[in-house]
Amino acid sequence: MNESRPAPAPALDIALGDITRLDEVVDREALRDVCRSFFELFGLSARVFSSEGTLLADAHEEPAIHAYLRTLPRGRQLLDQSVDAVVRAHPEKRTQLSELTGAVYDVVPLVYQGRRVGRFVLGPYLPAELKEVPRALLKSDPGIDKEKVRTALASMPRVREATAEKIVAHMNGIIDLLLFSSHRAHLTSEMHVASVRESYRELAEKTAKLQAAYERLKELDRLKSNFLATVSHELRTPLTSIIGYSEMLESGIAGDLGAEQKEFVETIHAKGDQLLALITSLLDLSKLEQGAMKVEAEPVEPRAIVEDIAKTFTPAAHKKGIEVVVEVEEGLPRVMGDPIRIKQVLSNLAENAVKFTPQGGTVRFGAKAAELDDGASGLGAVLMAAPRRAIAFTVRDSGIGMPREELPRIFDAFYQVDGSSTREHGGTGLGLSIVKRLVDAHEGSIEVESFVGEGTRFVVTLPSVEGE
């Protein structure tokens, strides 16, 4: 028998997606199907081995002569030696190995992209030219039965050399095609995995950069808040003195003032109050951002708050020719919140309503029973969660209104719908931002509905006292 060792394999070319093992890309079940089809078509046993000698597919039926020889001690030994030589063979090209029965095996290397990745074995089968029982077989064991040997050999398939070459070439072509298609699919999968890994790496890098930018923005925001708080606090002390002295001048403590002088002092006083309100808003915003503002919750009467807000802004409204209407339901439960902060929320909304409503318009303050959405969603939340009782405070005007596209940003700090330097109405854009944060601090919600030329309606919903 001829036996050869595999030649050194060429270096892998990762760029071309080279493989070294047949089982890396080809499905074993597909190889078994190929072997079974050849066995059924030609009656020839077929086996496929990897380059390491692992049996990947096998379709065979033990020949009768083999079964008989295994009953003989010497015959079994010689037969095992022949089969072992076939299994260990690594030829560089198609090679026929014979056994003591005279049958041969076709051992064919599987080469892909110039690299041996395995081999397949067809047989054993008897060459058609073999007419006599080999003498070596008859002498292989003293107890051999010649008639049984002849009968067993007669059942073994016979194949002409030309036919054997065609069968080998056919199987080699099928396996090569299977290997090619499987390798392409394997490469596609590997490229997809590599693409996903690269995308993940890029995403991780971008996420890290975004996180760093976010941390930087948080730090800048904190520094901004600290700066505003510090500056506002330092400005408040001298400003309080300016307002105090202007009040004393107005009262005549420093002597009587002329009409023009009195007008100047009143202007100083008014602008001082305006600046103090701005500084107070900045301090409130800074405290809310830092979580330093405490909400002292207690039961509060909704009617009392609404009527107090209406009384406070009625003079300014009447001065502009605006009608003030109060609409409060009877028998409302009390609200659980900080009365000072609730008044601050409604005062900000009322001030805007009066400011942006033209002469002859109407501003309505109201309160009614409502339910507070706790943010849960889905059918399960609707069935399982009981709605929270609440009070909805409304501030509605018939003023100029706001464009719908501006509504999502009106609660941003320093944002104004009319942000031009020539805007008609003054303001810093802090009021609604403070309102939103105060409402959130009360675990409530705020909604806005506005139409240009028709007016705006704010609804502040706060939880009520349970059990009332």
Distance between CA 344 and CA 437 in Å, rounded?
A: 12
Q: Work out the number of other CB atoms within 10 angstroms of the CB of residue 33.
A: 14
Q: Which of 433, 389, 399 is nearest to 414 (CA)?
A: 433
Contact 79, 152 (CB under 8 A): no
Q: Which of 154, 140, 159 is nearest to 64 (CA)?
A: 154
Contact 391, 368 (CB under 8 A): yes
Q: Judge whether residue 47 has pLDDT over 80.
A: yes
Cβ partners under 8 Å of residue 200, min gap 6? none
Contact 123, 103 (CB under 8 A): yes
CA distances from 456 to 349, 373, 451 (A): 10, 22, 7
Three-class DSSP category at 115: strand
pLDDT, residue 290, reads 62
What pLDDT, in 10s, does the model give residues 149-199?
Answer: 999 999 999 999 999 999 999 999 998 888 888 877 777 877 888 889 999
Instruction: Summarize the confidence of residues 252-264 as an average pLDDT.
Output: 83
Cβ partners under 8 Å of residue 460, min gap 6? 345, 346, 349, 392, 393, 394, 395, 435, 439, 444, 445, 446
- Degrees, nearest 5: CA angle 229-231-234: 105
Q: What are phi and psi of 338, to 5 degrees?
A: -90, 115
- Lookup result for tokens 């090209």: 93
pLDDT above 70 coverage of the chain, percent: 84
Q: What are phi and psi of 396, to 5 degrees?
A: -125, 135
Report the sign of the C-alpha dihedral through residues 326, 446, 360, 278, in that order: positive
Q: Which of 117, 104, 81 is nearest to 167 (CA)?
A: 104
Least confidently predicted of 2-11, 50-59, 117-126, 214-223 = 2-11
Q: What are phi and psi of 334, to 5 degrees?
A: -75, 155
Least confidently predicted of 249-253, 373-377, 412-416, 431-435 = 373-377
pLDDT, residue 22, reads 72
Domains of the chain, start order: 14-159 (3.30.450), 197-289 (1.10.287.130), 295-463 (3.30.565.10)
| Token code pair at residue 289 | 């951002």
| Token code pair at residue 296 | 């002292």
Cβ partners under 8 Å of residue 3, min gap 6? 85, 88, 89, 90, 91, 97
Q: Work out the number of other CB atoms within 10 angstroms of the CB of residue 343.
A: 16
Q: Which of 281, 279, 273, 223 is nearest to 247 (CA)?
A: 273
| Token code pair at residue 237 | 């002390």
Contact 24, 8 (CB under 8 A): no
Query: Which 8-state DSSP code applies to residue 138?
Result: H
pTM over 0.85: no
Distance between CA 185 and CA 175 in Å, rounded?
A: 15
Q: Which of 58, 74, 221, 195 is nearest to 136 (CA)?
A: 74
Helix (H) or strand (E) holding 216: helix 161-251
What pLDDT, in 10s, does the model give residues 70-120?
Answer: 999 898 999 999 889 998 898 999 999 999 899 999 999 998 888 888 899
| Token code pair at residue 145 | 């039965």
Q: Give me the DSSP letters along 42-59.
A: H---EEEEETT--EEEEE
Q: Work out the number of other CB atoms within 10 angstroms of the CB of residue 160.
A: 11
| Token code pair at residue 171 | 């199987």
Question: With bands split at pLDDT 50, 70 and 90, how would you rate the model's confidence at 413?
Answer: low
pLDDT, residue 341, reads 86
| Token code pair at residue 65 | 């002569």
Contact 22, 8 (CB under 8 A): no
Q: Judge whether residue 434 has pLDDT over 70.
A: yes
Least confidently predicted of 1-5, 69-73, 429-433 = 1-5
pLDDT, residue 361, reads 93
Mode of pairing for the β-strands spanning 158-159 and 115-127: parallel
- Where are the alpha helices (H) located in 26-101, listed in sequence order? 28-42, 64-69, 73-88
What's the gap between Cα 25 and its chain centre?
Answer: 31
What's the gap between Cα 47 and its chain centre?
Answer: 47
pLDDT above 90 coverage of the chain, percent: 41
Three-class DSSP category at 461: strand
